Structure 1
Amino acid sequence: MCTGEIEHLRHLFFECPFAKSCWHQVGINVDDWEIESSHDWLLQKLAQGSKLEVINISQVLWGIWFLRNKSIFEGKTMTPEAIMVWSKKQILDWKPTNKRSTDAKNENGSRYLNYRRWQPPEAGSFKLNVDAAIVVGQNSFFVGMVLRNHLGQYESGKVMKKVKKVGAFSVLEAELTGIVEALLWARDIVLGKVVVESDSLLSIQAVQHHY
């Protein structure tokens, strides 16, 4: 964005003069000298920040990344003020659309979750968040996993692809396979109690009832 430094995530989102101006536009003062790890800083803000602060952070990160790609692939530029106005509009447009989509799912009797803010595990434990992404009818799927400690600090993460030689994966099979793979992965990384968290209600019920 500034063509003055080698690009890496910390510089792109925090150290670059363009990024600093974007943070200023939403009223967040970011001292990059105090951010030893941008990953830990972001995870802490998502876990402990107010709803408005999380929205503002999303606005900045989304806007910078969008314009960065526009600049590279299309040669387009915008001022920090303009891209923050654009990014805010996307969020404002997304809110009613997302609400209508959620309401429609709830009315149709589909699975509905009351989303809650991420909660850290008890002291000395780790939380393992797992999610699978699948296209129905395909013989493969991707599973993502993130491991954090009781302070909400990022320990490690991984994305892997699983392929079935015969037939296709069902959604439940993919979610359960993902949980197993995540536990096997976490076993080799940390010592201590690991709490698994998934958005697949059927998978959690199956594990809890030993199905």
Structure 2
Amino acid sequence: MNILIEWIYKTPKGTETIFRSEEMPAAQALLFAEDMERTGRTKSIAFIDRFDSSWTVKELKSYLKGIETEPHNITVYFDGGFDHATSRSGLGCVIYYEQSGKSYRLRRNASSAELTSNNESEYAALYLCLQELELLNVHHLPVRFIGDSQVVIKQMTGEWPTLEKVLLGWADRIDKKMKDHGIQPEYELVQRKSNSEADRLATQSLNGISITATSEMP
């Protein structure tokens, strides 16, 4: 989670003013805040997240301690494919995360006969990833979403407008689920070769191979 620090600074003569920092990782912000408190001239320190929620020092310490045993440092790869011959879609999802000092990889795929295009399949794959994050109880964390679909990445970042009604519906559902769980998305567009795991899962799904697996990484 990235946050900014807001604090009141008091001079030796009692003059006060309010300062705000730039955004930074929560753990780093806590270190700065603790150092500022030691000066004796700082009071009313608060931490503000991207959803304008305010956290006290005590609340942030509790949060950071709590996520040690919950999934964090999360990177998600997604890919969707559409077979025009069968009108079926294959969805691939790969999630890398850390929990309790260990690293894990979750792989999941799914198929659908209800989608109508490759772009819609890509959106559905991203939504599948969000469902898996929900099952992992991921909340109020930054998450990197990596895919090779220019349409999805550029539309979700606002770089391209979402004009098709069907795709807009998917984008709205994705945005809502992100906000409901406090997920702070960071999108990254990559070449297809850099998204091979998710691509392979989507293809396997089209071929009738279903995969749901979580493994510990070395």
- TM bucket, shorter chain: 0.3 to 0.5
Structure showing the higher strand proportion among its residues: 2
Structure showing the higher helix proportion among its residues: 1
Between the two structures, name the one with larger relative contact order (CA 8 Å, sep ≥ 6).
2
Larger radius of gyration: 2
